[in-house]
Amino acid sequence: QVQLVESGGGLVQPGGSLRLSCAASGFTFSSYVMRWYRQLPGKERELVATITSTGGTTNYASSVKGRFTISRNNAVNLVYLQMNSLKPEDTALYYCNARRVIPGRTYEYWGQGTQVTVSS
C-alpha cells in the first residue's frame, strides 16, 4: 500500500517555527521528486517547495523563499519542511506530494494534509 503520512502541523504564533514531516512507504522513495503544496482557505492548492530525488536541488515559491527549507532523508523515506518566521498568511492545509515521470507514465501520490495555523 502506497502511503504518505504527514505530521508536525499545529498552532504557532507569528514569527514562530514548525517542522512538517512526511513519511513515505509502498514505493521507491529515492526515485521520486518530493514537493510540499498548501491550500489556503477558499483557494486552490499552490506549490510551496520542491526537492529532487537525490536532494541535490531545491526550489521555493517566492512567498516562502528564505523562510522555509525542504529536505529529505532517503535512508528513512522522510521529507521535511522547516518553516521559520511564520506569518498569518502561511495558515493553510499543507500536503506532501511524490511524483515520478517515466516514458509513458506519471506516478503521483498525495498525503492527507496537515493543518498549520499561524495566529496570535
- pLDDT, mean of residues 68-83: 98
Summarize pLDDT for 17-67 with one digit per residue, the tens.
999 999 999 999 999 999 999 999 899 999 999 999 999 999 999 999 999
Q: What is the pLDDT of residue 82?
A: 98
Q: What is the pLDDT of residue 5?
A: 97
Q: What is the pLDDT of residue 89?
A: 96
**Lookup result for grid cell 493543518:** 115
For residue 105, count other CB atoms closer than 10 A to its CB: 7
Q: What is the pLDDT of residue 46?
A: 98
- Total residue length of the chain: 120
Summarize pLDDT for 96-105 with one digit per residue, the tens.
999 999 999 9
Percent of the chain beyond pLDDT 90?
A: 99
* 107 CB burial (10 A radius; 0-12, 13-18, 19+): middle
Residue 114 grid cell? 496537515
Residue 65 grid cell? 523563499
| SS3 state of residue 96 | strand
